Amino acid sequence: MKSESSRPARHIDTGRWLAQFADRVLVVCPRCGGRALVVPRPDLEAPRFFSELLFMPRRLVCAACGATHEWEAEVQGAALVGAAMGGTEDPFFRQPLWLQTRCVGRILWAYNEKHVDELGAYARAALREHLASPTTAMFPRLPVDEASRQPSRSPGGPGEVAVSSRTLGTV
């Protein structure tokens, strides 16, 4: 186990939105239960803004069984209704996320490997700085140790959130 001094000294939360991790979402395949991938349809242009990821047509594909499904944003009147981020299901097809584990009595989940890396970097840091509003950033929503109001960590160790983020990375 790494010593406390070998932990990253600082993590700066710039207010990265959860939607920025929605380019690739790992899910449980609805047909075979294996790992499937939800991505924007390949025939579309890359988004200019990460918020476009909430509205882009999606494709769910499973390499194990060949299952494919299509998703498009709902139209209500003249408005597009995009995906709602957050929770243990993917925001497009409502399939369970592949990357999830128990943490501090709750479920810690991630959309993809980049998301796991970002959660782990935050949880392992000795100093956490928030430059963004806690209402829009994802880190203030991590499970916390209610006694200390800090992301769960034990003295001298990386804490349950950091351990759980490593577990997610091995799934």
Q: Do 67 and 49 touch, CB atoms closer than 8 A?
A: no
Angle between helical axes of 159-170 and 113-124 (0-180°, round to 10) = 160
Distances (CA, A) of 38 to 35, 79, 106: 10, 23, 24
Q: What is the predicted pLDDT for the residue at 104? A: 78
pLDDT given at position 164: 67
- Predicted model pTM: 0.79
**Is the backbone of residue 26 left (phi > 0), alpha (psi -120 to 50) or beta?**
beta
What stretches of 23-158 show up as alpha helix (H) in DSSP?
113-124
Quick one: pLDDT at residue 122?
Answer: 84
Interstrand relation of 68-71 and 74-76 (parallel, antiparallel or unpaired) = unpaired
Token pair recorded at residue 46: 């890359």
Amino acid, res. 97: L
Structure tokens at 137: 């950033």
Q: For residue 110, what pLDDT is reported? A: 94
Q: What is the pLDDT along the chain (171 residues), one digit of tens a residue?
A: 444 445 567 888 877 788 889 999 999 999 999 999 999 999 999 888 888 999 999 999 999 999 999 999 999 999 989 999 989 999 999 999 999 998 878 888 999 999 999 888 888 888 888 776 666 667 766 765 443 445 544 443 446 666 666 667 665
Tens digit of each residue's pLDDT (9 = 90 or more) over 109-129: 999 999 999 888 888 888 888
Tell me what pLDDT residue 167 has.
67
Q: How confident is the model at residue 111, as a pLDDT?
A: 96
